[in-house]
């Protein structure tokens, strides 16, 4: 028991949901003799029940702990009540397993899943008594690293993070641990470790690059400031998923978490290329697990967790090549054990409905579809290949099969959008309602139908064909929301929308550069945290932080960027060429679609990885 553990235990009496902080769940790894290992603190900058639902953390946690020389422990953002108690009792941020101070670890790694968690990263560092800025950390301090989707443009965190890991972590995490051991033995100084790992593909040390700006605030150049570091940093992938690390166990939490089930990852990447979708480009090329391997893994996960539900995970379940066979074989091993199988992200087609029927043995709840845009024209612009007739036909099958609730997801503020497109959302929802009433009363279930329309606001993201696009101004988004609300006349349709202020900040930090680092530091000081949670998001504080730092957020979100401009993330190579993105951007304005990777290769550049769908 360390010095804080006793105090910590007493503090837990005063907070909500203490199970968030206790650790010791089944399959969690607790190693004795903490000091003798390379110590990696895996930090998720959100509360336990959100972080524990994240598959990447589960993979890297077990992978690192299988090393005999390494201990990986989890750290989550303490909820506001817990933060208050920790500060009051003068307890620093502790890891979940051995309740050791985060500052006593060698490497403190954050996963960047969404921009609105950045304030939590700074707050967690502050709670851990680790200096917020990389340059202020002394020789004996841990290294702070970050990975995950937002790390591809981690520039707003460039002053805070010592190094980024780009791409899938299975190989590169092992390499940075190996390098750590060698460096530790060498007795060299802190900077020498960063120099060593900057030679590992996929590692980006931002302090080794200088950014020069033009008078108009745009970037003049990003250049290495020493020899031996690459001009461009290329992301890492696992070429053959079946040969990579296979996650066959998962921590089983005590408390209810957001995704409290087995997650079976079936493939990475997406063949579709929707032009707004960052994940669709970041994770290229598509690589699948074999069905045999998946069945073997699924069986182990069932045996090792005791979960009563299993969900397939990928960006688009329907695109798995042997989905029918996989589902049939999974049902063989799940049905007898009363394990429910769920298939999220299915495409709108007959085949998907048949599959749904097959797996939905218990209750028929709602169905969710994501047409993303209200008119065919706009769907062509964004390359979302969903036809209205497909959607309506599928809705008809669903209603006939006993469903009476459908959710439809859309985006507003997409490039080229007109009010006609916004109105199209209401029209489409009404057509879905009509489909319900066309079905004979004897067949459909219930007397009425509910269609829920949700709109999120389009956020232009790096590494997408829309990276050069300005975001709609907050007032325009609000006007579109209001317009849509007025167009929806029937009470069978309910309408929800996202807060536009959050989407604005998301755009700022998604496309931001290093000058935002000071804003983050100031925002943390002003008390910003849990910005992804409505009840804690404080827009005024953020505006205050921008003002104090003399940074104009609109520069990042609202500016139409020229194709020739140097972008803050141009020195990062995700394998998809800028030239391809330019071509896709132009095609969007021509309202031309691009076929999926399996129909025809469009030459995005991801073949350079030498694997996956490019070589099927």
- Listed ranges 21-29, 56-64, 389-397, 419-427: which one lies at the site for another protein (CB under 8 A): 21-29
**CA–CA separation, 291 and 285 (whole Å):** 19
Please tell me what DSSP assigns to residue 612. G
> Does residue 496 touch another protein according to CB under 8 A?
no
- Cβ proximity to another protein: between 68 and 362 the closer is 362
- Cβ proximity to another protein: between 10 and 418 the closer is 10
Helix axes 169-186, 190-198, angle to 10 degrees: 140
Nearest distance from residue 303's CB to another protein, in Å? 7
- Listed ranges 55-63, 297-305, 516-524, 588-596: which one lies at the site for another protein (CB under 8 A): 297-305
> Does residue 23 touch another protein according to CB under 8 A?
yes
> Does residue 255 touch another protein according to CB under 8 A?
yes
**CA–CA separation, 72 and 70 (whole Å):** 7
**Which DSSP string corresponds to 544-570?**
HHHHHHT--THHHHSPPPPTTSBPTTT
Task: Report the SS3 class of residue 106.
Answer: coil
What residues numbered 224-253 form the site for another protein, per CB under 8 A?
Answer: 252
Rg (CA), the chain: 24
What residues numbered 345-374 form the site for another protein, per CB under 8 A?
Answer: 362
Among 24, 192, 490, 494, binds another protein (CB under 8 A): 24
- Cβ proximity to another protein: between 338 and 485 the closer is 338
> Does residue 6 touch another protein according to CB under 8 A?
yes
Chain centroid offset of residue 71 CA: 25
Nearest distance from residue 15's CB to another protein, in Å? 10
What values do phi and psi take at 265, rounded to 5?
Answer: -80, 120
Strands (E), 258-414: 262-265, 267-268, 287-288, 309-313, 340-342, 367-372, 405-412
> Does residue 13 touch another protein according to CB under 8 A?
yes
In order of 69, 268, 611, the CA distances from 238 in angstroms are 23, 10, 9
Among 10, 186, 579, 608, binds another protein (CB under 8 A): 10
- Cβ proximity to another protein: between 10 and 496 the closer is 10
**Which DSSP string corresponds to 167-208?**
B-HHHHHHHHHHHHHHHHHHT--HHHHHHHHHTSTTEE-GGG
Nearest distance from residue 533's CB to another protein, in Å? 22
> Does residue 9 touch another protein according to CB under 8 A?
yes
Nearest distance from residue 413's CB to another protein, in Å? 41
**CA–CA separation, 513 and 555 (whole Å):** 11
Nearest distance from residue 78's CB to another protein, in Å? 14
- Cβ proximity to another protein: between 21 and 143 the closer is 21
Instruction: Return the half-sphere exposure (C-beta side, CA atoms, 13 A cut-off) of residue 364.
Output: 16
- Listed ranges 24-32, 117-125, 524-532, 576-584: which one lies at the site for another protein (CB under 8 A): 24-32
Other CB atoms within 10 A of residue 26 CB: 13
Residue linked to tokens 């080794």? 208
- Listed ranges 19-27, 511-519, 543-551, 597-605: which one lies at the site for another protein (CB under 8 A): 19-27
Count of residues that interact with another protein, criterion CB under 8 A: 27
**CA–CA separation, 399 and 435 (whole Å):** 8
Tell which residue, 314, 232, 210, 222, has the closest CA to residue 271: 314
Nearest distance from residue 306's CB to another protein, in Å? 3
What values do phi and psi take at 398, rounded to 5?
Answer: -65, -50
- Listed ranges 17-25, 69-77, 317-325, 400-408: which one lies at the site for another protein (CB under 8 A): 17-25
> Does residue 309 touch another protein according to CB under 8 A?
no
> Does residue 305 touch another protein according to CB under 8 A?
yes
What residues numbered 443-472 form the site for another protein, per CB under 8 A?
Answer: none
- Listed ranges 254-262, 343-351, 551-559, 583-591: which one lies at the site for another protein (CB under 8 A): 254-262
**Which DSSP string corresponds to 53-98?**
T-HHHHHHHHHHHTSTTEEEEEEEPPPHHHHHHHHHHT---B-TTT
> Does residue 337 touch another protein according to CB under 8 A?
yes
- Cβ proximity to another protein: between 105 and 307 the closer is 307
Among 338, 445, 547, 592, binds another protein (CB under 8 A): 338
> Does residue 333 touch another protein according to CB under 8 A?
no
Among 174, 207, 299, 304, binds another protein (CB under 8 A): 304
Nearest distance from residue 25's CB to another protein, in Å? 6
Nearest distance from residue 587's CB to another protein, in Å? 50
Among 228, 306, 366, 446, binds another protein (CB under 8 A): 306
Max distance between CA atoms of the chain, in angstroms, equals 79
Nearest distance from residue 2's CB to another protein, in Å? 14
Taking CB under 8 A as the rule, which mask of x and - marks residues 256-275 in contact with another protein? x-------------------
SS3 content of the chain, % helix, strand, coil (to 5): 40, 15, 45
Residue linked to tokens 């921008």? 546
**CA–CA separation, 426 and 486 (whole Å):** 9
Binding residues (CB under 8 A) for another protein: these are 6, 9-10, 12-13, 18-19, 21-26, 30, 252, 254-256, 303-308, 337-338, 362
């Amino acid at each position: 028991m360390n010095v804080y553990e006793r105090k910590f235990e007493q503090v837990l009496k005063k907070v909500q949901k203490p199970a968030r902080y206790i650790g010791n769940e089944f399959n969690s790894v607790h190693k004795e003799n903490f000091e003798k290992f390379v110590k990696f603190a895996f930090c998720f900058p959100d509360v336990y029940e959100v972080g524990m639902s994240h598959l990447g953390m589960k993979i890297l946690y077990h992978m690192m702990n299988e090393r005999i020389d390494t201990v990986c422990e989890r750290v989550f953002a303490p909820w506001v009540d817990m933060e208050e108690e920790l500060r009051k009792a003068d307890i620093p941020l502790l890891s979940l397993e051995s309740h050791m101070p985060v500052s006593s670890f060698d490497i403190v790694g954050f996963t960047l899943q969404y921009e609105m968690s950045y304030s939590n990263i700074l707050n967690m560092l502050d709670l851990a008594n680790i200096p917020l800025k990389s340059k202020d950390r002394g020789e004996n301090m841990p290294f702070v690293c970050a990975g995950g989707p937002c790390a591809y443009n981690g520039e707003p965190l460039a002053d805070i993070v010592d190094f980024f890991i780009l791409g899938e972590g299975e190989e590169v995490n092992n390499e940075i641990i190996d390098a750590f051991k060698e460096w530790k033995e060498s007795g060299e100084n802190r900077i020498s470790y960063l120099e060593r790992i900057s030679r590992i593909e996929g590692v980006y040390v931002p302090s080794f690059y200088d950014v020069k700006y033009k008078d108009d605030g745009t970037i003049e150049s990003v250049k290495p400031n020493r020899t031996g570091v690459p001009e461009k940093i290329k992301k890492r992938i696992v070429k053959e998923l079946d040969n990579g690390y296979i996650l066959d166990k998962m921590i089983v939490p005590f408390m209810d978490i957001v995704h409290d089930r087995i997650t079976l990852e079936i493939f990475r990447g997406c063949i579709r290329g929707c032009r707004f979708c960052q994940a669709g480009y970041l994770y290229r090329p598509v690589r699948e697990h074999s069905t045999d391997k998946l069945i073997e893994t699924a069986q182990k996960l069932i045996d090792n967790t005791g979960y009563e539900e299993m969900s397939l995970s990928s960006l688009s379940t329907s695109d798995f090549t042997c989905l029918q066979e996989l589902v049939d074989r999974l049902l063989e091993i799940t049905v007898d054990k009363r394990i429910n199988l769920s298939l999220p992200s299915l495409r709108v087609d007959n085949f998907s409905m048949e599959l749904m029927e097959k797996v939905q043995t218990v209750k028929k709840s709602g169905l969710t579809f994501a047409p993303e845009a209200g008119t065919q024209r706009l769907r062509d612009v964004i390359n979302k290949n969903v036809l209205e007739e497909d959607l309506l036909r599928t809705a008809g099958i669903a209603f006939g099969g006993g469903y009476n609730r459908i959710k439809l997801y859309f985006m507003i503020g997409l490039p080229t959008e007109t009010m006609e497109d916004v109105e199209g959302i209401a029209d489409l929802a009404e057509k879905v309602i009509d489909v319900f009433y066309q079905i004979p009363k004897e067949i459909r279930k219930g007397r009425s139908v509910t269609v829920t329309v949700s709109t999120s606001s389009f956020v232009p993201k790096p590494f997408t064909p829309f990276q050069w696009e300005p975001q709609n101004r907050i007032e325009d988004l609000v006007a579109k929301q209001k317009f849509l609300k007025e167009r929806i006349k029937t009470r069978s349709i309910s309408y929800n929308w996202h807060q536009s202020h959050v989407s604005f900040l998301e755009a700022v930090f998604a496309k931001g550069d290093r000058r935002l680092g000071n804003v983050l530091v100031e925002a943390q000081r002003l008390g910003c945290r849990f910005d992804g949670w409505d009840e804690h998001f404080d827009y005024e504080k953020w505006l205050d932080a921008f003002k104090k730092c003399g940074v104009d957020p609109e520069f990042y979100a609202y500016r139409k960027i020229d194709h020739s401009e140097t972008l803050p993330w141009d020195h990062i190579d995700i394998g998809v060429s800028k030239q391809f993105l330019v071509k896709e951007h132009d095609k969007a304005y021509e309202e031309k679609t691009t076929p999926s990777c399996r129909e025809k290769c469009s030459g995005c550049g991801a073949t350079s990885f030498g694997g996956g769908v490019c070589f099927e």
